[in-house]
Amino acid sequence: MNQEEQLWVEAARRGDKQAFSCLVEAYQRPVFNLTYRMLGNVEEAEDAAQETFLRAYARLGQFDPELKFSTWLFSIANHHCIDRLRRRRATYISIDDNPVLQNMSGDEPRPDHQALDQERRIEVQMLINQLDPDYRTPLILRYWEEMSYEEIAETMDMTVAAVKSRLFRARQQLAVLYQNHEAAAPPTSGSRRTTAGPAKSGDDSKRLMFRLALASL
């Protein structure tokens, strides 16, 4: 946590709404990206991101200053998204004079919206949606938020060994889902691939592109 952010957190814990607004502005994009990757739906992800900040605002007194604020915030977002995935119901909260709602609403474009309609992102998200929530979280935190194993373990309240194990299984599941997706996709015009027999080694380039896309999003 840099010095400026630390000052914002300290001021917010003393009741400074403007300081918390600065934290919202700093983290609304990464929090939205996390909730979108977890939930796979823009509107629900926006709602979940807003709820994350509302919960963080209400629990500022419980925040341990020795921890990274981002890790604590992602932990709140993660638990909320998992609850939503298990219940699959929306929760709408309205609070007057709240710095969260002031920052999360408005005419400015939502974080990452312009890129959400790109074919590559849609394909990757479609596959992630099929993963169990317990495997989605470490994958997203590692490859999109670029968090360390230790930070992921702290966010998910588990050991580093458990994080590595879940990441390994998540990558395995994702590879199988991708292969099944490719096998089920209709052949494009001019393709030499037939329905009989396994995919040829030339498809390795497509898998490589997928891995690059996964790491760069």
Give, in words, the CATH class of 118-187+194-217: mainly alpha
**Would you list the domain boundaries of the chain?**
1-112, 118-187+194-217
- The two tokens of residue 7 are 């000052």
Give, in words, the CATH class of 1-112: mainly alpha
Please report which confidence band the pLDDT of residue 185 belongs to, taking 50, 70 and 90 as the band edges. low
Q: How far is the CA of 82 from the CAs of 19, 55, 85, 88, 135, in angstroms?
A: 28, 15, 5, 9, 11
DSSP label at residue 186:
P
**Tens-digit pLDDT profile for residues 31-46:** 999 999 899 889 999 9
Burial category of 69 from C-beta neighbours within 10 Å (exposed 0-12, middle 13-18, buried 19 and up): buried
pLDDT of residue 2: 78
The answer, as to whether pTM is greater than 0.85, is no
**Tens-digit pLDDT profile for residues 3-22:** 888 899 999 999 999 999 99
